[in-house]
Amino acid sequence: MRKILLLLLPIIIIGCEQTFDNIIETVQNNYQVSFVSPTDSITFRADDSLVTIVIGFTSSSKPGDVFCDIIASDQSKLNSSPFQLFDDNDNRYLNDFPLSKFYPNGIYNINYFVKNADETLQQVALASFKYNNGQDNEPPILCNLMMPDTLARSVIMIFSVDADDPNGLSDITNVFYELYKPDGTQVSNSQGITEFPLFDDGDTSLNGDLVESDGVYTVKLTFPVDVETGSWRFVFTAKDRGNLTSNIIIHFLEVI
């Protein structure tokens, strides 16, 4: 993976005044970290999707097993289990991790750990790099609205819409609807908000969503018994991290 920009990050070592470049923070417990990598900008390349993760220790440090976690800009952890780094016999521990064009752009964090003699993992360093997935940003797409045409007042309604994004589902920041009364007046809540969210959180009891992060956004809604009857207009939209908006789906619901 080609490095295109070098960032120098400060080191903070507890109990030691010496500093090194490229470290944000370390914890000293018989381990002296000399450097970490990457700390620059990385752009995805289809012919080389690997990033080499490295941590170096001073000659006085004798770590055992060394691991790391890779945290994306959306705070998701890319590795399902601690990602092990291997000693190259020069007190450097490294391994190649595959990146994807579907990972979100932004600042990524790498948390470095050493396994102590008691089998506990101790964090010894934290580094950051900027990731560019190399993709042109494209807007999300909405389809497959599941919603009735008629609804009685005071009856619970669950409705959903599918959302996709050419840059990956993680690029979608929110899916929402706007609501208009039969007389054309737009509905807002007590804070003046007119965009009401749908959810992809798997919370069946609260939002009616069945599966988390599957691209199906769902919500529950009940029209109180005292609202006006007639044709209510729903306008569905999605937005992504680049603030691009999707196609709009309009649906009329007859409240009786």
Main-chain phi, psi angles of 204, to 5 degrees: -65, -40
What are the strands of the beta sheet with 33-37, ordered from one edge? Answer: 3-5, 41-43, 121-132, 106-115, 66-71, 83-87, 92-98, 50-57, 33-37
Strand partners, 231: 254
pLDDT of residue 29: 60
pLDDT of residue 242: 83
pLDDT of residue 201: 93
Give the up-direction half-sphere exposure of residue 136: CA atoms within 13 A in the CB hemisphere.
Answer: 1
Main-chain phi, psi angles of 206, to 5 degrees: -85, -45
The model's pLDDT over 8-53, given as tens digits with 9 standing for 90+, comes to 333 333 333 333 344 444 444 678 899 999 999 999 988 888 999 9
> β-strand 50-57 against 33-37: which pairing, if any?
antiparallel
Q: What angle do CA 132, 138, 141 make, to 5 degrees?
A: 135
In this structure, which CATH number among 3.90.1150.10, 2.60.40.1220, 3.40.50.1220, 1.10.357.10 belongs to the domain 3-132?
2.60.40.1220
Q: What angle do CA 113, 117, 120 make, to 5 degrees?
A: 45
DSSP letters for 24-35: SBB--SS--EEE
Q: In a 3-state reduction of DSSP, which class is residue 185? A: coil
Domain limits of the chain?
Answer: 3-132, 141-255
Q: Which fold has domain 141-255?
A: Immunoglobulin-like (2.60.40)
Range of lowest pLDDT (4-8, 20-24, 239-243):
4-8
User: How many Å apart are CA 78 and CA 253, to the nearest integer?
Assistant: 41
Token look-up 């010894």 returns 124
- Please, what is the average pLDDT of the chain? 86
Token look-up 């069945």 returns 210
pLDDT of residue 211: 94
pLDDT of residue 238: 97
pTM, 2 dp: 0.62
Could you tell me how many residues make up the chain? 256
Range of lowest pLDDT (3-12, 201-210, 234-243):
3-12
User: How many Å apart are CA 123 and CA 12, to the nearest integer?
Assistant: 13
pLDDT of residue 102: 85
Closest CA to 199 of 188, 215, 183: 215
What are the strands of the beta sheet with 216-222, ordered from one edge? Answer: 141-146, 156-164, 216-222
Which tops the pLDDT comparison, 135 or 174? 174
What is the token pair recorded at 28? 């000293």
With 60 as the cut, is the pLDDT of residue 202 above it? yes
